[in-house]
Amino acid sequence: MLLNQNILELKPSATLLINEKVKELRKEQREIIHFGFGQSPFPIHQSIVEELKNNSTNNHYLPVKGLESLREQVSKFLLKNQGIERDPDQLFIGPGSKELLYQSILIFEGEFLIPKGSWVSYIPQIKSKGGSYTILETKLENHFKLTPQVLEDYLKQTNQQEHILILNSPNNPTGAVYSENEYKSLAKVCKKHEVIVLSDEIYSQIHFNDDFSPSISKYYPEGTIVFGGLSKVFSAGGYRLGFMSLPNELASLSVAYCSLFSETFSCVSSPVQFAAIKAYEYSQELQEYVKISSKILCGVSSFIFQELSKNKIQCTKAQGAFYMMIGFDRFKTAINSLNIKTSTELAHYLLENYDVALLPGTDFGFQDSELFFRLAFVDFDGEKLMNKIKKETIIDKAFIKENCPRVFSGVKQLIKFAQELF
């Protein structure tokens, strides 16, 4: 049998292995706190569900680029709720932003640049096509955000001609959000070196201080492709609908995209496309729903940040999304003396001995020797919380203890582990 080596060489990710282990332990009736699983904890809004039901008899293939009325609606949404001006003609609907990112990775030739602290799927997607990539260094002090200096220094010395930078903000796994100024200076470097930017903005409206996160496309529209979708903001991951938008300057790529789409997925399920129109109309009620979910996520992440920081566990301060990176580098000597040298080993140790599942940094571009982990702070009943929370509700320690008991005990366990190292 002749098989594609690029695919065969994809290793099962550390994430997958930890998830398997959690399943096994739960079968043994162990109470595991799953800080590894990053799905939205909130229910989908009823207005979107109703629209899906209303269109359930629609059995037609739709245009490869997606329904025109949906593309128009997404274009309006982007302008009003993300500050991005994009022509509906250059908008494409696909079965999740993951697929659209993958097809983009297939289309672009060159070297992919991935900041350390990036989403788990970018590198395997690049590897699957035998593509080349470089991980760019980032630092905890800067919440693992890429700096213009690191980008410029790298681009100055490389022999490669073409570069594609993948940026993601609000970020999975760090929760970090690039500011307008940070994007302005990164955009300058990208423009100078004609780097194509794939801007993954799937969490844009899950922002803890604002209605949406800044987009690098504001400062470098001509070279930026923006990605988004229903999965996070509207808690509809299983609906599998995402979008991408090309700037007019890259409109010539539209033919390549359409050909690839039509030869692979054809179009996204018709009822889901109609339901998505409702989501992107973004009624007042839906805006409230997103605000409340962001308020809850902000409260939960602030609690974790405060408690862990007080106990010397390193932490990124999430400003959006569902995640933060936490680190045990300060405890390295004590941890090494337990004969644990890598984040993968430590993740297994924490799961076995403290019933807490974290994902090791290796799947996010970190060295295995760096003792960093992704913590997803969504192990709570989102529906119950949404019904309970009012504008004036203060999400403090007592509130978390009562309403997010698993998060509360997970944090307690991590602190116990840190304290026992001394």
Please report, as ranges, the residues that interact with ligand PLP according to CB under 6 A: 38, 96-98, 119, 168, 172, 200, 202, 229, 231, 237, 242
Q: Least distance to ligand PLP from the beta carbon of 55, Å?
A: 20
In a 13 Å sphere around the CA of 321, the CA atoms on its Cβ side amount to 27
Order of all β-strands in the sheet with 163-168: 91-94, 242-245, 224-229, 196-200, 163-168, 111-115, 132-136
Rounded to an integer, what distance in angstroms lies between the CA atom of residue 313 and that of residue 330? 7
Rounded to the nearest whole angstrom, what is the least distance from the CB of residue 121 to ligand PLP in the complex?
A: 7
Spatial contact of 230 and 279, defined as CB atoms under 8 Å apart: yes
Of 78 and 340, CB closest to ligand PLP: 78
Q: Which residues pair with 165 in a beta bridge?
A: 113, 197
CB 244 within 8 A of CB 91: yes
| Closer by beta carbon to ligand PLP, 172 or else 213 | 172
**Pairing relationship of beta strands 372-376 and 111-115 according to DSSP bridges:** unpaired
Least Cβ distance, residue 347 to ligand PLP (angstroms): 19
Beta carbon of residue 202, minimum distance to ligand PLP (angstroms, whole number): 4
In this complex, which beta carbon is closest to ligand PLP, that of residue 268 or of residue 335? 268
Nearest CB to ligand PLP, comparing residues 122 and 417: 122
Closest contact distance (angstroms) between CB of 239 and ligand PLP is: 9
Tell me whether residue 362 is exposed, middle or buried, using C-beta atoms within 10 angstroms of its C-beta: 0 to 12, 13 to 18, 19 or more.
Answer: buried
- Residue that has been written with the tokens 């790529």 in this structure: 253
Q: Which residue is nearest to ligand PLP (CB)?
A: 96
Question: Which residue, 77 or 354, is less far from ligand PLP as judged by CB?
Answer: 77
The first and second tokens of residue 64, run together, are 């490869």
Nearer to ligand PLP, 90 or 172 (CB): 172
Which residue, 100 or 340, is less far from ligand PLP as judged by CB?
100
CB of 72 to ligand PLP, least distance (A): 20
Q: How far is the CB of 98 from ligand PLP (least distance, A)?
A: 3
Question: Closest by alpha carbon to 360, among 373, 351, 376?
Answer: 373
